[in-house]
A and B are shown apart, each in its own frame.
Chain A
Amino acid sequence: MVLDEKVVIDARGIHYTPLNELIRQAVEDGATEIVLKNVLGQRFIADALKADVCIEIYGVPGGDLGMFMSGPVCIVHGNCEHAPGNTMDDGKIIIHGSTGDAAAHSMRGGKIFVRDYIGYRGGIHMKEYDQKKPILVIGKSAHSFLGEYMAGGLIILLGIDQKGPYFERGIGSGIHGGRIVIRGTVDDRYLGVGARKMELNENMLCEIHSLVKEFCNYFNIDDKPLMDNDYTVIGPSSSRPFAGKYTWE
């Protein structure tokens, strides 16, 4: 087994299944760093990959990057298609660009950092359990229904370069666990059903600052303007949103 090996794979014209086979083979051979060049829409990159490896992706990966992934770090130099980190278990996805809808869908662990924008329903149904707590940090902005059905974890939206406060509808619609943190103020009318504003406590602020630092570090952004307490915390009004909906036959 060779350690600390860097493997370069040219993904041009390769279908996702053989591409993932090449990645798995490289991991098996002991690669700790894999560089994927000329990626163009291949889905499921690093799907269910369980390894301690860093994958640098050049180009635009297709949907479901890092689906079910457990451990690797994926760094995307470019934009990303929809649902990166779908049901991801552990590891990191760092996107130097934007991503489509349903980013971090049902994610149960690990971290995703998106430098720019994400589409609709980001962080939908993220969930946490025990030591596993998924984290999604977005640099610029997100479309509606951020953190919909959220059952756990943490979403941070930094609103970098945005004019005025966040104004997308349905924030945390159906949320029953976890927290959504948005930089600046958020008008109540943008909150979804079951979501409410919560107090920003010291522990939370500590966690936010540490994640902001990590975010800024990846993307070479000055963290100073973000290290204050100008954040709105949104959480569930109940962990049992359906408890009062039914009557027995």
Chain B
Amino acid sequence: MSLGSVPLKYRIDIDRDQCMRCMRCVENCSYGVFRNEEGKLILNSRKCTACHRCISMCPRDAISLKERPVDYRSHSLWTGEAREDIINQSRTGKILLAGMGNAKEYPVIFDRLVLDACQVTNPSIDPLREPMELRTHIGKKPPRLEFKKNEDGDVDLITELAPNLELETPIMIGHMSYGAISLNAQRSIAKAVSKVGTFMGTGEGGLHESIYPYQDNMIVQVASGRFGVDINYLDRGAAIEIKIGQGAKPGIGGHLPGEKVCSDVSCTRMIPLGSDAISPAPHHDIYSIEDLAQLVRGLKEATQWKKPVFVKVAAVHNVAAIAAGIARSSADAVVIDGFRGGTGAAPKVFRDNVGIPIEAAIASVDRKLNEQGIRNEISIIASGGIRNSADIAKSIALGADAVYIGTAALIAMGCRVCGSCYRGLCPWGIATQREDLVKRLDIDSGSRQVANLIHAWTYELSELMGAAGINSIESLRGNRERLRGYMLDEGSLDVLQIKPIGA
């Protein structure tokens, strides 16, 4: 029997009195919602993804959008989404694919953490007048320093220091590959990070020539598909990141669909045109923590121990023990990607159900490394669902050295989190390789907006620190005393190692 059609996800309405039939919506919608039939605007709401491109481009605010305009019989368990997923899968027999991060309504721990401020007994600091140190160094710190007096009576440092990345702000942009996002998007981000004095990741997509001018601000990624990886690539990056896992889909690999492998993507990744780019789930030279150490050292050896090597893992149940293994592998930083981390495409069942929140992962990794006396061996970079400067301050207070942002940077370039990245039709020119769409993203304004966002959050961070009487990011790091948990259960408070409000 036919299953029939499911109700509309979104309904687009036009206020015909307001509409001046400029047809900008027709030009802008890459999903085909609008069409111009002899001067008459015809709509097909079924094609809408709520990307808001038409709404943002309409000069008369004549377009409105309503989510789920058709009610189902209400039921708290059998939601419309649950029913529609079943209908979809009974029709196709396939794995559900979804874009962006975890969309399930789990409680957000960040929103149950509150920060501290000074009152009376210790003075707060005005960041406008006083120096605030937000400069962050990512990499190994020596357990002790040794000095020697030289002939001039001065002291020389004799401890050999490991290479570190120096960031002007503890905010970096995470790995989004060329292929997953457009070249204009990557160039916008690259320009922004080099201006701000921070770093971004290449993702597993190689390094396009037009990014070379920004290579000193690039962290090149080596993932299980080894796409685009050769010595030229490794030499160009400021640091190298081994990607083991991703918060949006822990435990599985990645597939860049052949449709997205255009000629430019194909040559940057060094794979044939139109073939699927398949990153297997594991690295096939890593089946143990010892093997991981071997790849870390292989990469260090390749770059003559001059570059920091990071290891990125998804936040999973035993992330703390894994991080402790990574800290002993010669790696310089561990990147933990929480279960809210974004993605171009992930099986929905993974995106919404596998992994743990970044807040708990940071705290348990920091605690484990401290307990084992190896916290100095490795920096912690947190990512996955960081939405504002407060999330960053809380991440650092829980033990992170710096954060990666991803979705936030895309929003700064126009993304409205419609979650249809895997369609390759992003009307904002971000998650697409279609030339006419890519052109819509202007690199100058894109980079300015991303830089603005990092600036704004850095300002806010310094204000938050000043209010707490802290003048250096180092003093905020792992400073759980400045956090309190609001409506968190005892078990979570224990994992986070924080007290409840009022205590």
Q: Name the one of A106, A152, A246 contacting B95, with C-beta atoms under 8 angstroms.
A: A246
Chain B residues within 8 Å of A128, by CB = 272
User: A222-243 toward B: CB 8 Å interface, digit per residue (1/0)?
Assistant: 0000000000000000011111
Tell me whether A247 and B275 are in contact (CB under 8 A).
Answer: no
Tell me the bound Cα distance from A212 to B134 in angstroms.
61
Tell me the bound Cα distance from A88 to B271 in angstroms.
15
Tell me whether A47 and B272 are in contact (CB under 8 A).
Answer: no
User: B271-286 toward A: CB 8 Å interface, digit per residue (1/0)?
Assistant: 1101110101000110
Tell me the bound Cα distance from A177 to B269 in angstroms.
15
**Interface-located stretch among B143-151, B297-305, B362-370, B390-398:** B297-305
Tell me whether A70 and B231 are in contact (CB under 8 A).
Answer: yes
Whether A47 touches B230, Cβ cut-off 8 Å, given contacts A105-B285, A239-B275, A242-B278, is: no
Tell me the bound Cα distance from A240 to B257 in angstroms.
8
Q: Name the one of A68, A151, A246 contacting B231, with C-beta atoms under 8 angstroms.
A: A68
Is the C-beta of B83 less than 8 angstroms from some C-beta in chain A? no
Tell me whether A127 and B271 are in contact (CB under 8 A).
Answer: yes
Tell me whether B226 and A87 are in contact (CB under 8 A).
Answer: yes
The chain A residue sitting closest to B255, CB to CB, is A242
Enumerate B436-453 residues with CB–CB distance to A below 8 Å.
none
Tell me the bound Cα distance from A177 to B274 in angstroms.
12
Is the C-beta of A170 less than 8 angstroms from some C-beta in chain B? no
Is the C-beta of B229 less than 8 angstroms from some C-beta in chain A? yes
Tell me whether B258 and A239 are in contact (CB under 8 A).
Answer: yes
Interface centre among B267, B270, B272, B298 (most CB of A within 10 A): B298
Is the C-beta of B203 less than 8 angstroms from some C-beta in chain A? no
**Interface-located stretch among B86-94, B426-434, B489-497:** B86-94
Whether A132 touches B285, Cβ cut-off 8 Å, given contacts A44-B297, A249-B98, is: no
Tell me the bound Cα distance from A119 to B178 in angstroms.
35
Chain A residues within 8 Å of B224, by CB = 125
Count of B interface residues, CB-CB < 8 Å = 46
A128 smallest CB distance to B (angstroms): 7
Tell me whether A149 and B94 are in contact (CB under 8 A).
Answer: no
Is the C-beta of A166 less than 8 angstroms from some C-beta in chain B? no
Whether A16 touches B94, Cβ cut-off 8 Å, given contacts A240-B276, A241-B278, is: no
The chain B residue sitting closest to A246, CB to CB, is B97
User: B223-253 toward A: CB 8 Å interface, digit per residue (1/0)?
Assistant: 0111001110010000000000000000000
Is the C-beta of B312 less than 8 angstroms from some C-beta in chain A? no
Tell me the bound Cα distance from A106 to B121 in angstroms.
61
Tell me whether A241 and B276 are in contact (CB under 8 A).
Answer: yes
User: B418-431 toward A: CB 8 Å interface, digit per residue (1/0)?
Assistant: 01001100000000
Chain A residues within 8 Å of B230, by CB = 68, 70, 87, 89, 108
Is the C-beta of B294 less than 8 angstroms from some C-beta in chain A? yes
Tell me whether B297 and A125 are in contact (CB under 8 A).
Answer: no
Is the C-beta of A13 less than 8 angstroms from some C-beta in chain B? no
Enumerate A159-188 residues with CB–CB distance to B below 8 Å.
174, 176-177
Is the C-beta of A43 less than 8 angstroms from some C-beta in chain B? yes
Is the C-beta of B96 less than 8 angstroms from some C-beta in chain A? yes
Tell me whether B272 and A152 are in contact (CB under 8 A).
Answer: yes
Tell me whether B294 and A243 are in contact (CB under 8 A).
Answer: no
Is the C-beta of A245 less than 8 angstroms from some C-beta in chain B? yes
The chain B residue sitting closest to A71, CB to CB, is B231
Is the C-beta of A48 less than 8 angstroms from some C-beta in chain B? yes
Q: Name the one of B94, B276, B278, B305 contacting A17, with C-beta atoms under 8 angstroms.
A: B305
Is the C-beta of A130 less than 8 angstroms from some C-beta in chain B? yes
Whether A48 touches B270, Cβ cut-off 8 Å, given contacts A105-B284, A239-B276, A241-B278, is: no
Q: Name the one of B275, B294, B302, B422 contacting A177, with C-beta atoms under 8 angstroms.
A: B275
Is the C-beta of B348 less than 8 angstroms from some C-beta in chain A? yes
Is the C-beta of B123 less than 8 angstroms from some C-beta in chain A? no
User: B396-432 toward A: CB 8 Å interface, digit per residue (1/0)?
Assistant: 0000000000000000000000010011000000000
Chain A residues within 8 Å of B304, by CB = 24
Is the C-beta of B186 less than 8 angstroms from some C-beta in chain A? no
Is the C-beta of A55 less than 8 angstroms from some C-beta in chain B? no
Chain A residues within 8 Å of B270, by CB = 108, 127, 129-130, 132
Q: Name the one of B94, B234, B267, B347 contacting A130, with C-beta atoms under 8 angstroms.
A: B267
Tell me the bound Cα distance from A70 to B229 in angstroms.
12
Tell me whether B423 and A48 are in contact (CB under 8 A).
Answer: no
Chain B residues within 8 Å of A47, by CB = 298, 301-302
Tell me the bound Cα distance from A125 to B266 in angstroms.
16
Tell me whether B284 and A239 are in contact (CB under 8 A).
Answer: no
Chain A residues within 8 Å of B91, by CB = 247
Q: What are 19 A-B residue pairs whose CB atoms fall within 8 Å in the complex? A: A17-B301, A43-B294, A44-B297, A44-B298, A47-B302, A48-B234, A64-B294, A87-B229, A87-B230, A102-B284, A105-B284, A129-B266, A129-B270, A130-B267, A240-B276, A243-B257, A244-B94, A247-B95, A249-B419
Residues in chain B within 8 A of chain A (CB atoms): 85, 88-89, 91-92, 94-99, 224-226, 229-231, 234, 255, 257-258, 266-267, 270-272, 274-276, 278, 280, 284-285, 294, 297-298, 301-305, 347-348, 419, 422-423
20 new A-B contacts, CB < 8 A, other than A68-B234, A240-B275, are A17-B301, A43-B294, A48-B301, A48-B303, A50-B231, A63-B294, A67-B302, A70-B230, A124-B284, A129-B266, A129-B267, A132-B270, A149-B278, A239-B274, A241-B276, A242-B257, A246-B97, A247-B89, A247-B97, A249-B85
Q: Which 4 A-B pairs have the closest CB atoms?
A: A48-B302, A247-B94, A106-B226, A129-B270
